[in-house]
Structure 1
Amino acid sequence: MKRLVCHTLACTMFALTLSVISGCSSGPATGTVEGTVTLDGEPYEKGIVNLIDLQTGQAGNAEISTGGKFSISEPIQVGTYSVFVTPVAPPMPTDGSPPPPVVVDQSIPDKYRNESMTDIKVEVKEGSNTVAVEMKSE
């Protein structure tokens, strides 16, 4: 009887160990992304840079800061991403009044504001990625 309990306990521990190990699998490869956004060679600082993989739907974004710099806070799955820029939504009023309208920067050509029209693509590889998002006026 003692042997059966020990054997059952050992089997249970083995199964538990296997489930923990398989539950800790790393999943798909990911990379971190940071970089700069420019418009006609000058730093662009007025929006959110968005990356979307049109095949998988995986995406990431970050607000563009001083000098056109951005850093996506969470790693994203490796792959080819379309890059586009959207305006920053103004903060919601706390007094119950209607929200202010979103202001779209007309200096950006339309193609850079849409994931299906943009011609900017970046390849995200495993590990750290530094990218240059270079928009040009038409």
Structure 2
Amino acid sequence: MKRTRLLNPAFYCVLIVILVVWANTGCSGRKIKPKGIVQGKIIFKGRPYTEASVVFLNRATGQGGSANIEADGSFKLPKPIEVGTYIVYLAPKMENDPAAEPKPVSIDKSVPEKYWSEATSDIQFEVQKGLNEFIIELKP
């Protein structure tokens, strides 16, 4: 009987590694989309507005981000978001301490109601790759 010698076991290990790397990078068809860092300032009646968080929502993908507005009216989303068109609206401030007791949620009635919903907000921005700085002026 003639014995056939299989390839070296190291060859199979290298082949498996190549297949795993290929499967995780190329065969899924997903491309890494460019992202932008988003920060800026919220202005209402000529002054920095601080009583909310700001939300960026891409209606096409459902992706986005949000951040509390700081004491000087500034905000910065904690993570970069994919480039694209985003509707911008306000939401009640998020609790910074997840262990803290929940507080009642309320919205500031001095700000027009349209700014408190993605369905009615008329604020829209195009997020580009890299740093994006937006001044968002809420109209009374």
Superposition TM-score, scaled by structure 1 size: 0.80
Deviation at 1:66, TM superposition (A): 1.6
Deviation at 1:103, TM superposition (A): 2.5
Counterpart in the other structure of 1:81: 86
Unaligned 5+ segments in structure 1 are none
Superposition TM-score, scaled by structure 2 size: 0.79
> How many residues in Structure 1 have an aligned counterpart in Structure 2?
132
Counterpart in the other structure of 1:57: 62
Task: Write the deviation string for residues 70-114 of structure 1: whole angstroms up to 9, x where unpaired.
Answer: 0000111111111111122668875xxxx5432321110011111
Percent identity of paired positions between Structure 1 and Structure 2: 31
Describe the shift of the 1:89–1:2 C-alpha distance in structure 2 as closer, same or farther (beyond 3 A): same
Deviation at 1:22, TM superposition (A): 3.7
Counterpart in the other structure of 1:35: 40
What letter corresponds to residue 120 of structure 1 in structure 2? I
2:77 paired residue among 72, 75, 87: 72
Task: Write the deviation string for residues 20-68 of structure 1: whole angstroms up to 9, x where unpaired.
Answer: 5549x86222111010001122100111001111121111100000210
Describe the shift of the 1:9–1:40 C-alpha distance in structure 2 as closer, same or farther (beyond 3 A): same
| Higher-helix-fraction structure | 1
SS in 1 for 2:7: helix
Describe the shift of the 1:78–1:10 C-alpha distance in structure 2 as closer, same or farther (beyond 3 A): same
- What RMSD, in angstroms, separates the aligned Cα atoms of the two structures? 2.6
- Contact persistence 2:50–2:71 (CA under 8 A): yes
